[in-house]
Structure 1
Amino acid sequence: MTTTWNQPTIRDLVARLELFREGCRVTTLVEVERATRSPFHILVACVISLRTKDEVTAQSSARLFDLAQTPETLAILEESVIAKAIFPAGFYNTKARQLREISAILVREHGSKVPKNENNLLALPGVGRKTANLVLGIGHGIPAICVDTHVHRIPNRMGMVSTNKPEQTEKALMTILPKDTWIPINDLLVTFGQNQCHPVSPRCSTCPLDDLCGKVGVERSR
């Protein structure tokens, strides 16, 4: 199946994803971070989230924010205290060091504010494009596409893009998606990927996007 990915089709896709999300138990990182619109809290939660389940991220972030709410207060915590608070997040010792360094840099170089500039965000320890774009989008309301494993996998599977790396997917989606969908598309595709379009054996028989999907690389489905 070959779908023509024009603007009406994209709008239809997004509408279906929004409807799907309404019926799901949502555990995405975006949902975790919507508890606060603080760019700093979002940045911290993003760093904690890498190689960590969203449920663990939520719990770890909450424990850390009980100890420190601002860059100033987090920067003076001992690394061991931060590590204990965010355990069992993946690589918690490394992340504890990074979070303390990030906080110190924000205080020293950015007036305790989280930068609104991608290059400045990427210069922070432990911050890659995924984290930078999520902070820009959810934290600052600046249109950016956060590409994680779901946002990379699903458009490729559907035949919307044909890319090998997340950075390529980000650039390709920027040329296809209307700008007003850049921020929410991560949340929508992550929810869809967690509940329907699994990496292995996706639930194609009940998929609301089945008529649009090229099923690229799908060898087995349910």
Structure 2
Amino acid sequence: MTVLPDDYWLLRVRPQPVTAEEYELLPEDVSRMIEIVGGQVVFRESPDLRHQRAARRLADLIEAHARAAMNRGRGCLEVDTDVDLRLREVPLLNRRPDAVLYRCLDREDDERLRAEHALLVAEIVSPGSETVDTAHKLGGYAKAGIPHYWIVWLDETGVSAIERYQLDRPTRLYKHVNTLMREAGGTPEIGLPIPITVDWDELEY
């Protein structure tokens, strides 16, 4: 097993792909700064405060409805933000979505969060991330088999729109379900992957 050098900045100019084993050796403060796409290191821009708040508000909303679903017998569900999500082992594909709803992991076995656990992934679009969120991640999450994907748009007051996509399993492609718009008013209700009522006031900064 190759041991990564102490000079972690060398990841930026690393000629060979990073393996899953090497990634596991990285300290958390380093792995939080990067994603691995096709074995190659992609440094992540630090999200601004509005992005962070929106991710937290969105995760809180999803988590509240996940708890309600569990109370109705859905089974154990968890929601996290900015967490490692392993989509593929070789070449390594590791993302850190803004919010993810997933089936509970076996903590005793230190089980890693993988695509097969995820029910819903949400990515918040920031300036400069439009292509990555609306094309690259859209295709990558679908190919990994994640059933639902949300692209979340912001304005100066909070979440302004949520584009919803659902996986077509035979083709491993997402189909656009609908786009929820705050300006349309009301509190839209979503049925899948769990029932969620979108209260736009809860998604303000």
Do the structures match in fold with TM over 0.5?
no
Q: Choose between structure 1 and 2: higher helix proportion.
A: 1
> What TM-score do you get using the length of structure 1 for normalisation?
0.27
Q: Choose between structure 1 and 2: higher strand proportion.
A: 2
Larger RCO: Structure 1 or Structure 2 (Cα < 8 Å, ≥ 6 residues apart)? 1
> What TM-score do you get using the length of structure 2 for normalisation?
0.29
- Which structure has the larger Rg over C-alpha atoms? 1
